[in-house]
Amino acid sequence: MPVKLNFVLIANIMSNNWLLPEFIADVLPAEARKMEELRRLILDKFRIYGYELVMPPMLEYVESLLTGTGQDTDLFTFKLVDQLSGRTMGLRADMTTQVARIDAQRINRGTVTRLCYAGSVLHTRPAGLQSTREPFQIGAEIYGHGGLEADAEIQALALASLKVTGISEASLNLSHAGLLNSLVANDSIAKENAPALFDLLETKDMPGLDELTARFHPLTRRALMALPDLYGDISILKEAKKVLPSHAGITLALNDLEYLARVADCRRVTIDLADLNGYHYHSGIMFAAFVPGLPNALARGGRYDHVGEAFGRARPATGFSMDLRELSRLLPPAKKRYAIRAPWSDNAALCEEIRQLRKAGEIVICDLPSSRAGYDEFVCDRELVADGAKWILKTVVKE
């Protein structure tokens, strides 16, 4: 008895072979060109500030890759076993630690070093709403200077990088990783519960915070309960100095925030003393740039002085990064480029004419024999046609 094939089922099975994993997507021509043009614009901006480009590898041994980055990066990192060594390797989820390793171990200068980078990273899960699991990360780092001057430069460079792409409406949110450390420094019970405090403050879980701090010293408890309400413009720092305990670390953090808020070249600056995004990773000032139309921060940065210690050099460090895919989605579609259509031929005069046009910067698309090229990126408004022994440009008449 002949077997009846379910062609619909077979087609569905075959089509599933071509499905990409969730939150992973191809980048098609128009979007790819827009991202590449953004990459070039931003890297050129980095270069005129004196930043040198480095290209870390896509994967490393996890001991190096995850050094100093905290649990968050560990959870975002895909891991595999190296068949040559038997050791566990990770596909990078963030390039910052890699660049810190390059500064400490490969370049190893005693002077201030400015480095930049651009490349794909891979996440086990999307980092936020509308996020991809394969961001294209671009960023810049300063090593070797612990003063606010470096933080101010990185902050200015982040905003300048957005402006060069056409985004001038960015707002800045500032916070400080050292604040929580200073608040719990003299309270042993609070210090033991710092990870739980971080989670509660990050989500502004007031009932949970109230319950957790019940056994803390009254001054510590009062300060921690006040943190979620210490949010606003630069004037909130005056209120913070009244509410928070008198402590050298707290005073330093508030003064740092005030200075960076004043020098920020953007339309709006907010300060959120309970914003601890990146707390496990950063050691000082943290900032995030937001733009209208995007729920996630478009750029994030801050100071992370402790990361270099694992590579044998306790070296001050500050930097920022952003995802070109998210940036690209905010900007208008790339404009189509005008091009010239030409027939394919080994005619010497035609080949020379095409060479000269391309040398002058023109886009020339050759139609292969008996077929026409298909494209989305170009508009052929001219064509090369034979005029006796010569080839001339002729305007294409629109139908």
**DSSP letters spanning 172-215:** EEEEETHHHHHHHTT-HHHHHTHHHHHHHHHHT-HHHHHHHGGG
Mean pLDDT lowest for which of 11-20, 181-190, 219-228?
11-20
Task: Please check whether residues 187 and 271 belong to one and the same domain.
Answer: yes
Q: Which helix (H) or strand (E) holds 241?
A: helix 236-243
Residue given tokens 């990459």 in the structure block: 39
Q: Which residues pair with 137 in a beta bridge?
A: 119, 323
Counting Cα atoms < 13 Å in the Cβ hemisphere of 378 gives 15
DSSP string, 126-152: -SSTT--SS-EEEEEEEES--SHHHHH
Task: Please check whether residues 65 and 156 belong to one and the same domain.
Answer: yes
- Whether residue 14 is predicted with pLDDT greater than 80 in this model: the reply is no
Task: Please check whether residues 264 and 233 belong to one and the same domain.
Answer: yes
- Examine residue 5 and state whether it is found in any structural domain, yes or no: no
Task: Please check whether residues 101 and 209 belong to one and the same domain.
Answer: no
Predicted confidence (pLDDT) per residue in 250-305, tens digit: 999 999 999 999 999 998 999 999 887 765 678 899 999 998 777 788 999 999 98
- Examine residue 46 and state whether it is found in any structural domain, yes or no: yes
377: containing domain:
337-395
Task: Please check whether residues 241 and 355 belong to one and the same domain.
Answer: no
Residue given tokens 């087609």 in the structure block: 11
Phi, psi of 46 (to 5 degrees): -55, -40
Look at residue 270 and give its three-state secondary structure.
strand
Q: Are the CB atoms for 138 and 324 separated by under 8 Å?
A: yes
Q: Which pLDDT score is estimated for 354?
A: 96
- Examine residue 113 and state whether it is found in any structural domain, yes or no: yes
Predicted confidence (pLDDT) per residue in 353-383, tens digit: 999 999 999 999 999 988 888 888 999 999 9
- Examine residue 11 and state whether it is found in any structural domain, yes or no: no
Residue given tokens 């960076």 in the structure block: 260
Q: Are the CB atoms for 291 and 167 separated by under 8 Å?
A: yes
CA–CA distance from 300 to each of 32, 127, 264, 319, 370 (Å)?
Answer: 23, 13, 15, 9, 52
- Examine residue 83 and state whether it is found in any structural domain, yes or no: yes
Q: pLDDT category, 399, cuts 50, 70, 90?
A: very low
- Examine residue 220 and state whether it is found in any structural domain, yes or no: yes
pTM for the predicted model, two decimal places: 0.88
- Examine residue 8 and state whether it is found in any structural domain, yes or no: no
Token pair in block for residue 73? 């990066």
- Beta-carbon contacts of 78 under 8 Å, excluding residues fewer than 6 positions away, are 90, 91, 93, 122, 124
Task: Please check whether residues 328 and 385 belong to one and the same domain.
Answer: no
Q: Which of 290, 313, 345 is the last residue of a domain?
A: 290
- Beta-carbon contacts of 192 under 8 Å, excluding residues fewer than 6 positions away, are none
Average pLDDT of the chain is 89
Residue length of the chain? 399
Task: Please check whether residues 133 and 178 belong to one and the same domain.
Answer: no
Task: Please check whether residues 281 and 302 belong to one and the same domain.
Answer: no
- Examine residue 12 and state whether it is found in any structural domain, yes or no: no
Residue given tokens 């651009």 in the structure block: 118
Token pair in block for residue 386? 């034979």
Q: How buried is 2 (Cβ within 10 angstroms: 0-12 exposed, 13-18 middle, 19+ buried)?
A: exposed
Q: Helix crossing, 148-164 with 248-263: angle to 10°?
A: 30
Q: Which pLDDT score is estimated for 63?
A: 87
The domain total for the chain is 3
Q: Which of 290, 321, 352 is the last residue of a domain?
A: 290
Task: Please check whether residues 239 and 131 belong to one and the same domain.
Answer: no
Q: Which of 231, 260, 290 is the last residue of a domain?
A: 290
Q: pLDDT category, 120, cuts 50, 70, 90?
A: very high
Task: Please check whether residues 132 and 216 belong to one and the same domain.
Answer: no
Specify whether the backbone of 116 is left (phi greater than 0), alpha (psi in -120 to 50) or beta: beta
Task: Please check whether residues 39 and 164 belong to one and the same domain.
Answer: yes
Kindly report the CATH number assigned to the domain that includes residue 302: 3.30.930.10
When comparing pLDDT for 1 and 175, which is higher? Answer: 175
Q: Which of 275, 249, 245 is nearest to 179 (CA)?
A: 249
Task: Please check whether residues 46 and 153 belong to one and the same domain.
Answer: yes
When comparing pLDDT for 91 and 168, which is higher? Answer: 91
Token pair in block for residue 340? 């010239």
Cβ neighbour number for residue 35 with a 10 Å cutoff: 20
Token pair in block for residue 288? 């995030």
